[in-house]
Amino acid sequence: MQAASFPADAQRVLVIKHGAFGDVIQAEGALRDIRANHPDAHIAVLTMPAYRGLIARSPVIDEVIVDPRAPRWRLDTMWTLRKTLRARNFDMIYDLQNSSRTAFYYRWMLKDRRWSGTAKGCSHPHRAKDPKKIRTLDRLAGQLADAGLRIERTPTPDVSWLADDVTALLKEAHVGAPYIVLVPGSSARHPQKRWPHYSELARRLIAEGHEVVVAPGPDELELAKTIPGKILLGPRGFLNWFELAGLMKRARFVVGNDTGPSHLAAHLGAEGLALFGSHYPAERTGIIRDNFSVIEVEDLKVLTVEQVYGEIVRRLARHSNSV
**Cβ neighbours around 101 below 10 Å, total:** 13
pLDDT digits (tens, 9 = 90+) for 121-180: 999 999 876 656 678 899 999 999 999 999 999 999 999 999 999 999 999 999 988 999
Hey, do 12-156 and 161-322 end up sharing a CATH topology, with the first three levels equal?
A: yes
∠ CA 237-213-156 to the nearest 5 degrees?
95
Biggest distance spanned by C-alpha atoms of the chain: 63
- Structure confidence at residue 10 as a pLDDT band (50, 70, 90): confident
pLDDT digits (tens, 9 = 90+) for 197-241: 999 999 999 999 999 999 998 888 888 899 999 999 878 888 999
pLDDT of residue 189: 75
**Cβ neighbours around 316 below 10 Å, total:** 16
Residue 271 reports pLDDT greater than 60: yes
pLDDT of residue 312: 96
pLDDT of residue 1: 29
pLDDT of residue 8: 56
- pTM of the full predicted structure? 0.88
In this predicted structure, which of 21-25, 84-88, 183-187 has the lowest mean pLDDT?
183-187
Superfamily assignment of 12-156 in CATH? Answer: Glycogen Phosphorylase B; (3.40.50.2000)
Nearest to 260 by CA among 143, 162, 129, 150: 162
pLDDT of residue 55: 96
Q: Where are the domains of the chain?
A: 12-156, 161-322
Residue 6 reports pLDDT greater than 80: no
Fold designation for 161-322? Rossmann fold (3.40.50)
pLDDT of residue 132: 60
Please provide the average confidence, as pLDDT, over all residues in the chain. Answer: 91
pLDDT digits (tens, 9 = 90+) for 28-38: 999 999 999 99
Q: What's phi and psi for 179, nearest 5 deg?
A: -140, 160
